[in-house]
A = this chain, B = another copy of it.
Amino acid sequence: MKKALAIDVGGTKIYNAVIDEKGEMLTEVEKHSTPHDLDEIKNIFKSIIEKYENEVDAIAFSTAGAVNNENTKVIGSTGNLVKGYKTIEFDKLSKKKVFVENDANCAAWAEHVLGASKDMPNSVMLTLGTGVGGGIIVNNKMLKGKSGAAGEMHFKMYPDKRRHCTCGSYDCFEAYASGSGLKKTAEEMLHDENVTTYDVIDGLKAGNEKMTAVFNRWQDDILAGIIGLANLFDPDCFVLSGSMAEFVDTDYLEKSANAEIITMPTKVLKATTGNYAGMIGAALLALEVK
C-alpha cells in the first residue's frame, strides 16, 4: 500500500506523520513549534523529510496560505507564518514527489474521501478556528480557480466598514464567523473589551442570557454566510470543523438555511476525520486517492 509523509504547517505548530492511502496513520504524530525564522523552518522540513523519505512514496504538505495550481508553492497570505515563507520551493525539498495544498482544502478532501461529506460530489468545508478557512469541492474536484487561491472565506457581511479583517480589508465573513469574530461580537454587544471567547462559551454552557445572546448572534452570522454559499454553490452539504465547530448547533443551521435558500435543501454536518484532517487530506491528495 502506498504511503506519504504528511507535514502540517500552522502558525504555531508543525506536525508530521506517515499516512497510507487509506488515511491510516502509520507513525505517532511528531510535533514541533513553528520557528519565526525562514531557515529554521526549512531545516525542520529537511530533517523530517530526511528521516522518512526512503520509506514513503510522496511528501504531502498541508499548509496555511493559498497554494498554486501546480501544488508546488504557497502564493497567498500566510497568516502568522514567517516572511519569506512564499519563497520556499517545496518541490526541491525531496527527491520524492512533493505535493503542497492549503490546510482547509486538505481537510475538505479528507472529509470528502473518508468523512462527513463522503459520497457527496459537492461540498463546502468551513474551518471555524481563530480564523475561518474554506475548502470547496465541486463535482468531486477541489475548487482552485485561476491561480489556486479559491475558497477564501472573505466575502463581506457588511459593505460599510465596521470591522477590520486580518486580510487587510473590512467586514469579511472570517471577521464575524471566527473565534476572534465571536470575541469581537461579545465586545460590541457587552461594551467590554476584556471579554473572551471562553467567557462566551462558558456563559453559553451555564445558560447565561447575555452570553447566549452573543453566541446566537455569532451563530446567525455563520448562518448568513451558509445561506449565501448555498445559493452560490448548491452543495450537497456543508462540513464544519475547527475548534469553534463543536459549539455550533448544526441542526439549527441546517433547518434555518433550508428555510431561506432558493437552491435545493442542503445538509450542515460536523467534520469526522479529527484534528489531523489536514495531514490526512494532504496524504490522500498526494497519493491521488479520490
A residues within 8 Å of B by Cβ?
A: 66, 75-77, 120-122, 134, 136, 138-139, 141, 143-159, 167-169, 172-173, 220-221, 224-225, 227-229, 231-236, 260-264, 266
In the complex, the answer to whether B144 meets A141 with C-beta atoms within 8 Å is no
In the complex, the answer to whether A66 meets B263 with C-beta atoms within 8 Å is yes
**Majority-rule SS of A interface residues:** loop
Q: Roughly how many angstroms separate A227 CA and B158 CA in the complex, as a whole number? A: 12
A159 contact set on B, CB distance < 8 A? 157-158, 220-221, 224
> Oligomeric state, in number of copies?
2
In the complex, the answer to whether A229 meets B150 with C-beta atoms within 8 Å is no
Known A-B contacts A154-B228, A155-B229, A228-B155; the reply to A146 vs B262 at CB < 8 A is no
In the complex, the answer to whether A155 meets B264 with C-beta atoms within 8 Å is no
Chain B residue with the shortest CB-CB distance to A138: B138
Besides A122-B146, A152-B231, A169-B227, 15 other A-B contacts (C-beta < 8 A): A134-B232, A136-B232, A138-B145, A145-B234, A146-B266, A149-B264, A151-B232, A152-B232, A152-B263, A154-B261, A155-B231, A157-B158, A159-B221, A168-B262, A169-B262
A158 contact set on B, CB distance < 8 A? 157-159
In the complex, the answer to whether B76 meets A150 with C-beta atoms within 8 Å is no
Tell me, rounded to whole Å, the shortest Cβ–Cβ distance linking A15 to chain B: 25
In the complex, the answer to whether A147 meets B234 with C-beta atoms within 8 Å is yes
